[in-house]
Amino acid sequence: MFEWLQPYYKQLLQQRARLPHALLMHGAEGIGKHILAQETGKALLCEQPQATACGSCRSCRLIEAGTHPDWFMIGLEINDAGKPATEIKIGQIRDLCQSLVQTPQIGALKVALIHPADRMNRNAANSLLKTLEEPVPNTVLILVSSRPSRLPATIRSRCRQLRISAPTPQQAQAWIRHRYGDTDADALFAASGGMPAAAHIIAEAKMLPVRAGVFDDWSKIVLQGRDPLVVAEQWKDADLNWIFSWMIGWLEDMLMLKQSVEYTPLNSDFSRILRDLSAKTGQDKLFAFYDRVRRAKQLLDSSVNHRLLYESVLLDWAGIQTGRQQQSA
């Protein structure tokens, strides 16, 4: 468990006898909320809980095996192509609510975790609302969200809210270094925006080479006139959410370099090229493009065609020097 989550964890377990029916854990993306929710749920179900779940009782072993009958994890379903769905659907929530009204089979409690809760579609949220309005005894529902404002107010108001703070940059850096060693630490810190759970995902999925490859091609669009559509094709299978997040970080570094040449880019592994790029682009255009990428990232949750969005962003990037910048989406 991350050190900055420990105080929350301790507090929740101390209150185990008077926990509310529904909890909403929220805070920035990538700080470990989901891990905190899972560990809390495990400890609540453990038959011999000490400071944490024991790891060896029947309940702990069943959770480990993924077969605990009173432990429910609801998330984005993975389709046949291995991609996550864009929303949590009503069928998932309806099944959950039906299971929750049953008596617990192992201990005295049932625990359900919904993550990311803000991805419930309207029908799913309405279905959950009924359960929140008529709480079933002996159940704890934990909703996890990085964007709680997207949840209906009716749901938020029926949960006890627990805001999880992000780690300090020093805590995040120390954890990443400790976990992944010195070689990749700076790149992981930059790639994750200093968010340890995000760094963990990037490391486990071995995405640092993807980041390096995308950066190389992206920078050459401006520095060497590489064709943006070829670059879009090259990286068509990479996760756009990450690519846009990284791009936003690179642009922030470039904007900071415009303010001061003394600035040390957060993406320190790309320092030299970021300096070149910053020198070759005008501040106003850079700001406009920065806004463009941030808007594009928000659009990824909508039904917009990702490939076309990606292409148009790269075309705008290619036009950043020549004044041919498009204004679309």
The distance of closest approach from Cβ of residue 25 to Zn ion in the complex, given in angstroms and rounded to an integer, is 22
Measured from the CB atom, the residue of 71 and 317 that comes closer to Zn ion is 71
Copy the structure tokens of residue 22: 């529904």
Which 269-308 residues touch Zn ion, going by CB under 5 A?
Answer: none
Examine residue 135 and say whether the peptide bond preceding it is cis (omega within 30 degrees of 0): no
Q: According to the 3-state scheme, what is the secondary structure of the chain?
A: CCHHHHHHHHHHHHCHHHCCCEEEEECCCCCCHHHHHHHHHHHHHCCCCCCCCCCCCHHHHHHHHCCCCCEEEECCCECCCCCECCCECHHHHHHHHHHHCCCCCCCCCEEEEECCHHHECHHHHHHHHHHHHCCCCCEEEEEEECCHHHCCHHHHCCCEEEECCCCCHHHHHHHHHHHHHHHHHHHHHHHCCCCHHHHHHHHHCCCHHHHHHHHHHHHHHHHCCCCHHHHHHHCCCCCHHHHHHHHHHHHHHHHHHHHCCCCCCCCHHHHHHHHHHHHHCCHHHHHHHHHHHHHHHHHCCCCCCHHHHHHHHHHHHHCCCCCCCCCCC
Measured from the CB atom, the residue of 31 and 60 that comes closer to Zn ion is 60
Going residue by residue from 90 to 129, which x/- string records binding to Zn ion, judged by CB under 5 A?
A: ----------------------------------------
Measured from the CB atom, the residue of 46 and 293 that comes closer to Zn ion is 46
CA distance 255 to 258: 5
Which 157-186 residues touch Zn ion, going by CB under 5 A?
Answer: none
Measured from the CB atom, the residue of 58 and 220 that comes closer to Zn ion is 58
Measured from the CB atom, the residue of 49 and 213 that comes closer to Zn ion is 49
The distance of closest approach from Cβ of residue 13 to Zn ion in the complex, given in angstroms and rounded to an integer, is 13
Copy the structure tokens of residue 103: 């008596």
* Contact region with Zn ion (CB under 5 A), list: 39-47, 92-100, 181-189, 229-237: 39-47
* Contact region with Zn ion (CB under 5 A), list: 38-46, 124-132, 156-164, 186-194: 38-46
How big is the chain, counted in residues? 329
* Contact region with Zn ion (CB under 5 A), list: 44-52, 90-98, 130-138, 283-291: 44-52
The distance of closest approach from Cβ of residue 186 to Zn ion in the complex, given in angstroms and rounded to an integer, is 38
The distance of closest approach from Cβ of residue 109 to Zn ion in the complex, given in angstroms and rounded to an integer, is 13
The distance of closest approach from Cβ of residue 74 to Zn ion in the complex, given in angstroms and rounded to an integer, is 22
> Total binding residues for Zn ion by CB under 5 A?
5
The distance of closest approach from Cβ of residue 61 to Zn ion in the complex, given in angstroms and rounded to an integer, is 8
> Residue 9: CA atoms inside 13 Å, Cβ hemisphere, count?
23
Which 227-256 residues touch Zn ion, going by CB under 5 A?
Answer: none
Going residue by residue from 46 to 85, which x/- string records binding to Zn ion, judged by CB under 5 A?
A: x------xx--x--x-------------------------
Measured from the CB atom, the residue of 57 and 174 that comes closer to Zn ion is 57
The distance of closest approach from Cβ of residue 59 to Zn ion in the complex, given in angstroms and rounded to an integer, is 5
The distance of closest approach from Cβ of residue 254 to Zn ion in the complex, given in angstroms and rounded to an integer, is 50
Binding site for Zn ion (CB under 5 A): 46, 53-54, 57, 60
